[in-house]
Amino acid sequence: MARSTLAPAETAPPAVTARTAKTARTTRAGAPRSARTLRPRTLLIAAAAWLLAAGFLLPYAEMVITALRPADELRDAGYLPSSFEWANFVDVWRESHLGDNLRVTLLVAAGSTLLVLLVAVPAAYYTARVRFRGRKLFLLLVLVTQMFQPTSLLVGLYREFYQLDMLNSVWTLILCNAAFNLAFAIWILTAYFASIPVALEESAMIDGLGRGGALLRITLPLAMPGVVTAMIFTFIAAWNEFVMGLTLSTVPENQPLTVGINSFIGNYTVQWNFLFAGSVIAIVPVVVLFALIERKVVSGLTAGSVK
Amino acid sequence: MSTTSTTSGPAGKGSPLRKDGSLRKDGPVRKDRGGLARLGPLPWIGPAVLLIALVVLWPVYEMVRTSFLRISSSGFVRGSAGFDKYKQLFAEPSLPSVVLSTVVWTVVVVGATMLVSLALAQLFNQRFPGRRLTRWALIAPWAASVVMTAIGFKWMLNQTAGVLNTLMTDLGLIDSPRDWLGDPATAWPWMMFVAVFVSLPFTTYTLLAGLQTVPGEVYEAARVDGAGPWQTYFRITLPLLRPAFLVGVVINLINVFNSFPIIWSMTHGGPDSDTATTTVFMYQLKNSDIGESAAMSVVNFALVVVMVVVFLKASRWNQEEN
C-alpha cells in the first residue's frame, strides 16, 4: 500500500491488470477437463459457497423479518411472526425523525463525495504527472491520513468544531467525511492517472490546451472507471459513517441514519421492529449500489492497492 | 470548501507566485503556460492539503492541547492541568485490562479474518454455478453499516426472543436461552465474531483481486512440473498473494484497532469497562472528563503511530527484498 502510494508510477496499469486477469480466467475456463472430470468437486464447492452466502445474508434476513413483526410479537421466540406488519414502515416514518435522518445521510454522502472528487482529482492528477518539490511529503501526508481514523481523533474533532460553533451542522459532517475519505480517493486516482499514457495529453497540450484542459478533455474521460470507484467507495463510507455523526451531531434531527436509529433503543425497552425498519431503509440502497459495481470492486482494488 | 479551491487560484496570484515560480523546474514543463502553471502545485494540491489540515491535523493539535487542560463539563476551559490528566488516566484501575483486551481483540480479529479470508478467496475464485450471486451475498456486510449489523447481532442474541438463542436451544447446543452479551466471558467471543464477520468481505475481495493478478501460466507450469494442489498453494499462490495479504493485514489492523461501533452498539463497553477497548474506554471517559478522555486519545494515537511506523518499516523491507 505504501509502495503504491509513494511510487504510483510503478503501479500496474489497470488495463494491463484487467488483461492478465482475463487471461487467467480464460486459462482456467479453457480447462474444461477439470470441470467435467471433477463434477462432484464443483458441486461441493457450489454447496459450500451457497451455504456461506446464506450465512452472510442471515443477519439481514432476520432484520427484515423483525422489521415486519407486529409489536406485540416482539417477545416471542418463534422464527417467524404470525403475520407481516407492513404498516411498521409507515409508522416508523411518521413517528420518528427518520425522514430528517435520511435527509442528513443523503446530504452528507452526496456532499462529501462531490467534495472528495473536486479536491482529489486535481491533486491525484498533478501528483501522477509532475515531480514537484514536496511531492514525497504530500504523499506521506496522504498516507498518514489513511492511517488515522476518525475514531482516534474524536476528542480533537469534537473540541475543534465545538470551538468553531459548528456542531450539529451538515457542513461539518460533509467536511469530515470528505477529509477522511480523501486519502483513499487520491491513492486510487493517482494509480489510474499514472496508467494513462502522457503522450495523449502532450499532443493535446501542444495543440494549445493547458494542463487543466488536457485533464478535463483527455485524461478524465479515460480515468472514468477509477473516478467511479473512488466515488462509490466514498459515498458508501460516508453513508455508513457512525462515530463522527454520533459525536458531532447531538440533536436527533441533525443526526445521520446510523446514529438516528439508536433513538429506538431506550433505557428499558427497545422498539426492535422500528429499529430494523429504519435499518432496512438505510441498508437496501447501498447493498444494491454495491452489487451493481461488484466487478469494478475487484479491478478497483487491483488498481489502487494490491499491485 | 469548493469556494476555497476556486479562490486559491486568483487569490494566490500575489505573493506565493514568486516563491513557487522556482518550482517549475521540477516538473516536465513543456510549453509556456499562463497564470495557473506559474503557481506550481498550489492550485492542484492546495485544496487537498487544506482539507487534511483542517479536519485531520487541527484535531490532532486540539486533542493534545485538551489533554493538558482542565475543562468543565459544560466546555469551559479552567486553566492548565499539566500532566494531571495523564496521571489520572494511568491511575484508572481498569486501564491495564482495557489495554490487554485491545491487544487480544486486535490480534484475534485480524488473525481470524486473514485466515478465513484466504479460504473464502480460494473458494470464490473457483468456477461454479451461481458464483455471481454468492459473491453478491458476500458483499452485504461490507455495504451495510457496521452499526446496523452489530445491532442486528445484538438482537439475534437477545435472551428472550433472539433467533440465535432459539436456534441453539432447538439444536440442543444450550439448555436454555442465555444472556450472551451480559457476561464479558461470552460477550467478547461474540463481538469478535461480529468483527470478523464485517471484515471478511473487504479482505476476501482484496485477496480475490490479488489472485486474479496471478497469471494462469504459472499454475499451468506448476501442473506440468507435477506439483500437487497443496504444494501449488503454499509454494506459488501464497507467495504471489503477499502484496494483497499485506494490504489486508494493514487495513484490518487499523480498522480493528480503532473499531468502535461494534462494541459500542453491542455492550457499550460494559459492564463497567469490562468489554471496552481503548477507543471505547476513551468514549466512556468523554462523558465524565474530557481532559482524561483526550489523554486516552493521545495514548491511543501514539499506539496507532507505532503501528504505522512498524508498517512503513515492514513495507520498505518488503520492497528491498523484491
Mean pLDDT calculated for residue range A189-201 = 83
Is A37 part of any domain?
no
Place of cell 523484491: B322
Query: Under 8 Å CB-to-CB from B149, ≥6 apart: which residues?
Result: A59, B141, B194, B197, B198
pTM comes to 0.80
Nearest Cα neighbor of A300 from B318, B100, B212 is B212
Rounded distance between C-alpha atoms, residue A184 and residue A67, angstroms: 35
pLDDT tens, position by position, A152-178: 888 889 889 998 999 999 999 999 999
* Confidence band of B40 (pLDDT split at 50, 70, 90): confident
Q: Who among B142, B177, B261 is closest to A243 (CB)?
A: B261
Residue A111 with chain B: CB contacts under 8 Å? none
Q: Is the distance from CB of B222 to CB of B132 less than 8 angstroms?
A: no
Is A87 part of any domain?
no
Rounded distance between C-alpha atoms, residue B168 and residue B180, angstroms: 12
Domain range enclosing A136 = 97-306
The predicted structure's pLDDT at residue A117: 94
CA distance to partner chain B, nearest, from residue A247 (Å): 10
Rounded distance between C-alpha atoms, residue B41 and residue A122, angstroms: 10
The segment with the largest mean pLDDT, out of A66-75, B77-86, B131-140, is: B131-140
Using CB atoms within 10 A of its CB, is residue A202 exposed (0-12), middle (13-18) or buried (19+)? middle
CB contact under 8 A, A175 and B258: no
* Confidence band of A266 (pLDDT split at 50, 70, 90): confident
Cα nearest neighbour of A76 on chain B = B161
Rounded distance between C-alpha atoms, residue A254 and residue B52, angstroms: 24
Cell of B163: 433467533
Mean pLDDT calculated for residue range A42-57 = 90
Cα nearest neighbour of A307 on chain B = B243
Q: Is the distance from CB of B121 to CB of A234 less than 8 angstroms?
A: no
Cell of B38: 506559474
Is A88 part of any domain?
no
Task: Supply the CATH number for residue A192's domain.
Answer: 1.10.3720.10
Residue B255 CA to its chain's centroid (Å):
2
The predicted structure's pLDDT at residue A222: 83
- Domains of chain B and any CATH numbers: 2-66 (no CATH), 95-275 (1.10.3720.10)
Helix (H) or strand (E) holding B79: strand B77-80
Residue B59 with chain A: CB contacts under 8 Å? 153, 156-157, 159-160
Using CB atoms within 10 A of its CB, is residue B171 exposed (0-12), middle (13-18) or buried (19+)? exposed
Mutation for B interface: A98, A139, A306, A307, most B CBs within 10 A: A306
CB contact under 8 A, B33 and A138: no
pLDDT tens, position by position, B93-150: 888 899 899 989 999 999 999 999 999 998 998 888 888 888 888 888 888 889 999 9
The CA-based angle B94-B98-B102, given to 5 degrees, is 175
Rounded distance between C-alpha atoms, residue B231 and residue B234, angstroms: 5
CB contact under 8 A, A63 and B148: yes
Mutation for A interface: B8, B32, B55, B267, most A CBs within 10 A: B55
The predicted structure's pLDDT at residue B26: 40
List, in sequence order, every residue forming a beta bridge with A270; answer none if it has no partner: A265
Rounded distance between C-alpha atoms, residue A303 and residue B180, angstroms: 42
List, in sequence order, every residue forming a beta bridge with A265; answer none if it has no partner: A270
Rounded distance between C-alpha atoms, residue A64 and residue A80, angstroms: 11
Task: Quote the number of domains for chain A.
Answer: 1
The predicted structure's pLDDT at residue B176: 82
Is A40 part of any domain?
no
CB contact under 8 A, B213 and A20: yes
pLDDT tens, position by position, B249-285: 888 888 898 888 999 999 988 788 888 898 899 888 8
| Cis before A14? omega within 30 | no
Is A196 part of any domain?
yes
CB contact under 8 A, B152 and A153: no
Is A16 part of any domain?
no
User: Please, what's the b/e burial string for A282-295 (b: 16 or more CB within 10 A of its CB; e: otherwise)?
Assistant: bbeebbeebbebee
CB contact under 8 A, A283 and B143: yes
pLDDT at A135 over 70: yes
Q: Is the distance from CB of B67 to CB of A154 less than 8 angstroms?
A: no
Rounded distance between C-alpha atoms, residue A215 and residue A204, angstroms: 10
Q: Is the distance from CB of A13 to CB of A195 less than 8 angstroms?
A: yes
Structure ipTM: 0.78
Q: Is the distance from CB of A259 to CB of A246 less than 8 angstroms?
A: yes
Number of helices and strands in chain B (H, E): 17, 2
pLDDT at B180 over 50: yes
Mutation for A interface: B4, B20, B32, B62, most A CBs within 10 A: B62
